[in-house]
Chains A and B, each alone.
Chain A
């Protein structure tokens, strides 16, 4: 938790956002102190500017200059920006040029992105974060778009999904990351948006995704595995991005989710498991995107932006405040 605190915070804030519970469940003073805490994680150094997961490596008496071992982290930068948008921050403290420099420091020769400027994991999750950050800033000068797209395409598997990295088994979460990233990027002369997935690839991906909705109503992340609440979002949102959201049996999906509800609150990965912020948020996001047709109003959730994975209200706030003006 220490090394992924901002991400956990994002899932918790995102849950409140989707439940429309911000005004009733939090005070203005609380929201202000959270914004302050998040800004304290923005750190500058030789690799540009980004957010770190928390102060766990920050020495007492020092905060905004990063050291080699207290560097910003790509996934945390994505989740921090969205968390601040949920908290309706004005982003006046955002070092936009520094963030673009940080993205450049994270991109590798093969087009992939490392979570940290000098190493750490590099896979479709980190690539997705780099794409979202660029689109939040509405500035693509922080990456080589063509090589990044080549990398993403190298992760496609024979089953139709995308693996976490080249050669990997098709996996629901990283398939979402790949499709969202391909969709977020504006066309370039050498890569028009329509060319990024051939019709045959698109058909195969839709087939594989829809094959993952299991008889339980929930989606699994890989062929022949058991359903898991988080994959209801990853696979459901991936289908939605491909314009095939109507292939999801939404009522069955909602039934599965309700079985994953934990008796002490929250939603677990599967029935009779323990709830956690990650599965709670992603389940709500899935329901917001793919609401059941036979639902009563207690299911009413705000509309979701499927590419950024945030409520539309938060997404439009981000659009209005994050890019340089």
Chain B
């Protein structure tokens, strides 16, 4: 977008007003009206191109040169939604090969990753194409785009929209779950990857091979537990675990044994090894506040208000301790313990007391 504001020293700027190929179009300047609020200083290049664009819109011309013009404007201002809109309708009117447009968009998307319109345009193209091959190519493109920006919201939304749009195309969905595993191996705290896994496994119907829901539940709980063992204070993994339990209406108490490995102040003896209950990795920061919260929730679900309150009081005391004594000595520890949520725990105590 910054191109609009730059003074372009480049003499090679081509103006439509000087191009004989555009001589038949009557340019229309922008309406000026009352003194503009927050006036914008356009470059000559942008002003010239948009004058010709308004001229084109007025006559309704839809031709190959309109594609050139709208591309030029979008490159200067990727948020120019009228240029996108007009471009899309021109593509349809000309019956242009939409796959070629998608390849052009691949280059755009990398430069304008944060612009909504780039992704919206792709959606329109995919709807118009309705081609599973094109959708498969899109999935590959998204993988590349996420390599540069692993948590870009637009990119992820587009992938989820695309898969949901082609919900019955098994081949598009086949690699999704394995791919989230790959991403979480690179970064176990990538919440977008966790969210995507939930969407794939639970949010969009039953996938091939996943018909046995009891198996799926076990597998997903096991997956989350293994990741918690790697990083016991990772809220993404705990949120996923809770999500699976809530979704399958499984009582939290079924995970008591597992959780107690993480609420203790130190890791259990190394010779205890239970596949269903992987212990915290060596050197993990314990107890995990996420585990303590989970334990309080178990007690609450089981109607054990006293115990729930005890856990909450314990956390508040730890927070107070951490804040007043440890914070000055070793700041990073205070950060690890997330003292910011002391008020949340006090709230939990109040709520639990009330329900008694």
Interface size range of chain A in the complex: 35 or more
Asked if B343 and A247 make an inter-chain contact with CB atoms under 8 angstroms apart, the answer reads yes
Chain A residues with CB below 8 A from B85, complex form: 69, 116, 119-120
Closest Cβ–Cβ distance, residue B25 to chain A (whole Å): 13
Residues of B near A40 (CB, < 8 A) are 33-34
Contact B35 A37 (CB under 8 A): yes
B79 touches A5 (CB 8 A): no
Whether B239 is near chain A, meaning CB under 8 Å from some CB there, is yes
With A215-B338, A223-B191, A224-B189 known as contacts, the answer to whether A120 contacts B343 (CB < 8 A) is: no
Question: Could you tell me if A60 and B120 are in contact, using CB atoms closer than 8 angstroms?
Answer: no
Per-position 1/0 for B236-277, Cβ under 8 A of A? 100110110011000000000000000000000000000000
B interface residues, how many (CB within 8 angstroms) = 66
B198 in contact (CB, < 8 A): yes
Is B81 part of the binding interface, using a Cβ–Cβ cutoff of 8 Å?
Answer: yes
A222 close to B37 (CB less than 8 A)? no
CB neighbours of B166 from chain A (8 A): none
Secondary structure dominating the interface of B: helix
Instruction: Report A-chain residues with C-beta under 8 Å of the C-beta of B236.
Output: 223-224
A164-B37 CB under 8 A given contacts A169-B195, A248-B343 = no
Contact between A58 and B31 (Cβ–Cβ < 8 Å)? yes
Chain A residues with Cβ below 8 Å from B196 are 169
Flag whether B77 is at the interface (Cβ < 8 A): yes
Instruction: Assess whether A264 is interfacial by the CB under 8 Å rule.
Output: no
Residues of B within 8 Å of A4, CB to CB, are: 79
Cβ contacts A297-320/B at 8 Å (1 or 0 each): 000000000000000000000000
Q: Is the CB of A3 within 8 A of B79?
A: yes
Bitwise interface map of A from 213 to 254 toward B, beta carbon under 8 Å scored 1, else 0 = 111010000111100000000000000000010111100100
Chain A 165-179 interface mask (CB, 8 Å, partner B; 1/0): 111111100000000
* Contact assessment for B157 and A165 in the assembled complex, using a CB-CB cutoff below 8 Å: yes
Q: How far is the CA of A124 from the CA of B219 in the complex (A)?
A: 33
Q: Which residues of B contact A8 (CB under 8 A)?
A: 38
| A57 and B28 contact, CB distance less than 8 A | no
- Chain B residues, Cβ within 8 Å of A248: 343
Asked if B334 lies at the interface with its beta carbon under 8 angstroms from chain A, I say yes
Q: Is A34 an interface residue (CB 8 A)?
A: yes
A61: CB under 8 A from chain B?
yes
B120 touches A120 (CB 8 A): yes
Sample (28) of A-B pairs whose CB atoms are under 8 Å apart:
A3-B79, A3-B81, A9-B38, A37-B33, A40-B33, A40-B34, A55-B33, A57-B54, A59-B30, A60-B28, A67-B57, A68-B57, A69-B86, A120-B120, A158-B240, A158-B246, A158-B247, A159-B239, A166-B164, A169-B191, A200-B246, A214-B340, A215-B335, A223-B236, A224-B190, A224-B191, A247-B344, A247-B347
Known contacts A121-B120, A217-B340; can you find 5 more A-B pairs with CB under 8 A?
Answer: A36-B34, A56-B82, A158-B239, A208-B239, A224-B235
